[in-house]
Amino acid sequence: MDDRFNTAAGWVLFAGIVALGSSIASGMYFHADSGELPEGAEPGYFVQGEETDAGADAGPDLGTLLANADAAAGEAVFAKCTACHTIEQGGANGIGPNLYGTMGKAIAGHAGFAYSSALSEKGGQWTWENMNEWLTSPRAFASGTKMSFAGLSKPEDRANVMEYMSTFGGAPAKPAPAAPEVESEDVAGEAPGAGPGAVEGEPADPAQAAGAMSADQPVPAANAAGDNEGATKVD
């Protein structure tokens, strides 16, 4: 009886050892612990992501936005800026410079304020285009700037803020709105010579002349009489 029990226990132990060894071997081959795939293997259940539309409409151009900008709405948005800036003439510098007369002024041109080298070395003027880029993302416009504001994502908000700023010290001329695209279609018969037939004031082409010659001509009546000069009259 003991021999049978020992034999059965031995087989069970052997089967367990084989199972454990197979598990270890498969784990090493398939990299179960590392999350890596064997060479040449591809992940299952791959779901194709939706492609973004790279040609999406970017919205109205800057000139159109500025033509419809509202200074009162810009004042409400500018409230976010008052923690760091003043805008009234003669206002004190804060964390940021006073912004009176900034539109059209040289970038980093406010006297008495210590700008970052990223902005002071930028050069140029605060044109509508430059200010639009700055308000979109200060860090993108001047990498390394000390300004921590993330920017205004809505084009309308930026246009309104710039319109409000322009009421304090003026601004350069605004960019003109882009001209609307005009779709033109060629319609047969609208332009002279586009359709069939002769054009008034233009010589007929050979095909038109041949067509005219092939048209039915008036036939003299049976009672036609000749005149004194021998010509034929038609009653």
Report d(CA 140, CA 133) in Å as an integer: 8
Nearest to 106 by CA among 85, 120, 124, 87: 124
> CA-based angle 100:103:105, to the nearest 5?
90
> CA-based angle 97:100:104, to the nearest 5?
100
Given the structure tokens 């880029």, which residue do they identify? 133
Q: Is the pLDDT of residue 217 over 60?
A: no
Dihedral sign for Cα 54, 55, 58, 62, please: positive
Least confident of 3-7, 22-26, 151-155: 22-26
pLDDT at 181: 79
Q: What percent of the chain has pLDDT over 90?
A: 50
pLDDT at 180: 84
pLDDT at 22: 67
Write out the two tokens for 78.
Answer: 């500018």
- Per-residue pLDDT band for 101 (boundaries 50, 70, 90) equals very high
Given the structure tokens 């003109």, which residue do they identify? 176
- Per-residue pLDDT band for 99 (boundaries 50, 70, 90) equals very high
Report d(CA 24, CA 41) in Å as an integer: 20
Q: Is the pLDDT of residue 146 over 60?
A: yes
Least confident of 12-21, 94-103, 129-138, 172-181: 12-21
Q: For the stretch 202-230, what's the b/e string if a residue is b when 16 or more beta carbons lie within 10 angstroms of its beta carbon?
A: eeeeeeeeeeeeeeeeeeeeeeeeeeeee
Dump the DSSP string for 21-85: HHHHHHHHHHTTTTTPPPTT---SS--PPPPP-TT----S-HHHHHHT--HHHHHHHHTTTTTT-
Q: Give the dihedral of Cα atoms 130, 97, 119, 148; nearest 10 deg.
A: -90
Give 175's DSSP letter: P
Report d(CA 85, CA 107) in Å as an integer: 16
Q: Is the pLDDT of residue 65 over 70?
A: yes
Q: What is the mean pLDDT of the chain?
A: 76
Q: What are the structural domains of the chain? A: 62-166 (1.10.760.10)
The pTM (predicted TM-score) of the whole model is: 0.56
Q: Tell me if 224 sits within 8 A of 233, measured CB to CB.
A: yes
Report d(CA 89, CA 66) in Å as an integer: 23
Q: Tell me if 119 sits within 8 A of 108, measured CB to CB.
A: yes
**What is the tens place of the pLDDT at every residue in 106-145?**
999 998 999 999 999 999 999 999 999 999 999 999 999 9
Determine the average pLDDT of the residues in 154-182.
95
